[in-house]
Structure 1
């Protein structure tokens, strides 16, 4: 019997479930500051651990969001935000999840896309109301890809930090450089600078640990071998690449995680470079959810390292695509 297809799944997620699901991915359940192993050749990594511990301690002492928390922060000159900036695979998400685990609740954790999806599902006012009582909002993979996101997120961070919520974020771009190369960022400079002023920026340098001393990604399989592997692996799925790309257009990215519930391995037949930017960005979102859940990926056709065209890798979403390649290649091993 052939393996089931992701393309046949139509997941649904209620708004309340989105709030409850705002926790670090399962692969980060056990990470803590003391499980992060700094690269001895990169002193910024050990410094980032210390900065995260200090920030977590200040958040834990300040209490939950609201007037008292805001008053405490002003009294100790503690900025309400911590921003971990660095390249791919240096452990920024490990540090962010460690910070989240170190802070008592209420607290929320999500990728940038998940946070914007939450606002889309609940509305801005309701999102602010639900999160204003939190001690901490942790945002992974912070990026501003269009003017709408710029206005929404800068306003959300302003509202939450004013209410006493601390915000920690990771990104591959310094906060005052967000949006560059994607849209007319200069038109939104005041909003971006206003937001960035709320963060202490900590740089995390180093090579991508996902590929440190590891072999290249395996070569794509034949269609026959891929199908046989999928059929012999309990809980796995097998999709034609083009069919899955078409299906993802009809599933909101906030549901991609639910799309993968119970899946142990994903097999993609006939992989080729993404045909356009919209498809490419959906594949980035799916790749992030696969990585969150540590789900292996096997393919036929083109290699995962060739998923995005040279033109895409020269454009404004370059860092998103490189992160996706890094993660998907790691999963294909």
Structure 2
């Protein structure tokens, strides 16, 4: 038994993590990869002149539903594996770094900027661990395939996690047919492994009655931030963009299947059903901060909020929010008051244990 599997079993036996056969199977595969990395270490020094380095092992694409422990097992692998240089980064932060490097390369009049960027990244990481691969932006979609080709050709081993199977990446994206070779590349050059645990560990950290917080105050802001950290394991998420009908929808914070917005960012801007549907398709949990009390002359904001909640409800998205009022007090009178009665009912149902899962109410 090598170090990574042994460490997983040690943490399980110490009660630090729950026994989970699906997780352990993925850890065993990561343990095997760690051994392969050690055995394929490139020759160095004088020996490098006479001995050809062995080919690098295949990396892993680990996918599964939110909260199943994908990030935890990848981080355990990253912390334990003996290889250098190595890098662990969130996928969206990685792509932002790539775009900055591409811009700098183009400023120097490089004909094909992806080539030197891929080479530089490969020099910096023999092992590259990417958390939460989720391609939602056409700019990322059009370069990620060639970027990965360059990294793999240079010998970088890639391990990535995703909520989506490879075939579901960039689903319904603009010019998706140009993205399909990247999916084929993943299946050819990485071992695709499903983490099919029956347990959503993150949701077990939340009680359903905590998810709609009133009134707006420093205390409820702090409670929402605590919920965010419990569900995402991070203080602040990464910004990202989603393509919606050929334009960008900016997500201020995204992490581990959760997106975070203010009410103004969702309902005071000219957004509509396609935007809300794109959010529902990409995020199982949505945080909405500072829902105000809406007087009758804020009919447009009230209408957008109705559309937002209808979309989230139909997609079974979980909602965490801070609000000036309880649901029935948000929009008590106005042109859309009748429609808002359904919204009130849905907001209450979305706070229930059955909506979040009975295990959550019991924790």
Range of TM-score over shorter length: 0.5 to 0.7
Pick one of 249, 255, 261 that aligns with 1:278. Answer: 249
Q: 1:228 to 1:160 in 2, by over 3 A?
A: closer
Q: 1:33 to 1:221 in 2, by over 3 A?
A: same
Pick one of 157, 170, 184 that aligns with 2:161. Answer: 170
Pick one of 261, 266, 283 that aligns with 1:321. Answer: 283
CA RMSD of aligned residues (A): 4.3
Structure 2: give runs of 5+ residues left out of the alignment: 1-6, 103-113, 226-237, 241-246, 265-270, 288-316, 322-359
CA distance in structure 1 between the partners assigned to 2:133 and 2:25 by the alignment: 21
Q: Are residue 61 (structure 1) and residue 39 (structure 2) matched?
A: yes
Partner of 1:93: 71
Partner of 2:8: 33
Partner of 1:220: 213
CA distance in structure 1 between the partners assigned to 2:97 and 2:184 by the alignment: 24
Alignment check: 8 A CA contact 1:92 1:170 kept: yes
Cα offset for 1:166?
Answer: 0.4
Alignment check: 8 A CA contact 2:214 2:220 kept: no
Q: How many pairs does the alignment contain?
A: 238
Partner of 2:344: none
Deviations 1:170-192 (A, max 9, x none): 00112233212233423432232
Larger Rg: 2
Deviations 1:50-100 (A, max 9, x none): 11111122223322699x8995236xxx32x20111000001001111121
Structure 1: give runs of 5+ residues left out of the alignment: 1-31, 237-251, 255-275, 291-296, 302-307
How do 1:195-206 and structure 2 match up within 5 A? 195-206=186-197
With normalisation by structure 2, the TM-score equals 0.54
CA distance in structure 2 between the partners assigned to 1:121 and 1:154 by the alignment: 17
CA distance in structure 2 between the partners assigned to 1:175 and 1:70 by the alignment: 33
CA distance in structure 2 between the partners assigned to 1:210 and 1:86 by the alignment: 14
With normalisation by structure 1, the TM-score equals 0.58
CA distance in structure 2 between the partners assigned to 1:39 and 1:215 by the alignment: 19
Three-state SS of the structure 1 residue aligned to 2:37 is helix
Q: Are residue 113 (structure 1) and residue 92 (structure 2) matched?
A: yes
Cα offset for 1:287?
Answer: 9.0
Deviations 1:137-178 (A, max 9, x none): 111111222343123211111111111110000001122332
Pick one of 21, 43, 46 that aligns with 1:43. Answer: 21
Q: Are residue 122 (structure 1) and residue 120 (structure 2) matched?
A: no
Q: 1:220 to 1:193 in 2, by over 3 A?
A: same
Q: 1:192 to 1:229 in 2, by over 3 A?
A: closer
Alignment check: 8 A CA contact 1:128 1:156 kept: yes
Q: Which moved more, 1:119-128 or 1:160-169?
A: 119-128
Partner of 1:72: 54
Cα offset for 1:112?
Answer: 1.2
Pick one of 144, 150, 165 that aligns with 1:159. Answer: 150
CA distance in structure 2 between the partners assigned to 1:147 and 1:70 by the alignment: 39
Alignment check: 8 A CA contact 1:142 1:170 kept: yes
**Structure with the larger RCO, 1 or 2 (CA within 8 Å, 6+ apart):** 1
Partner of 2:232: none
Cα offset for 1:198?
Answer: 0.8
Three-state SS of the structure 2 residue aligned to 1:197 is helix
Alignment check: 8 A CA contact 2:70 2:161 kept: yes
Cα offset for 1:204?
Answer: 0.5
Q: 1:58 to 1:175 in 2, by over 3 A?
A: same
Cα offset for 1:311?
Answer: 5.8
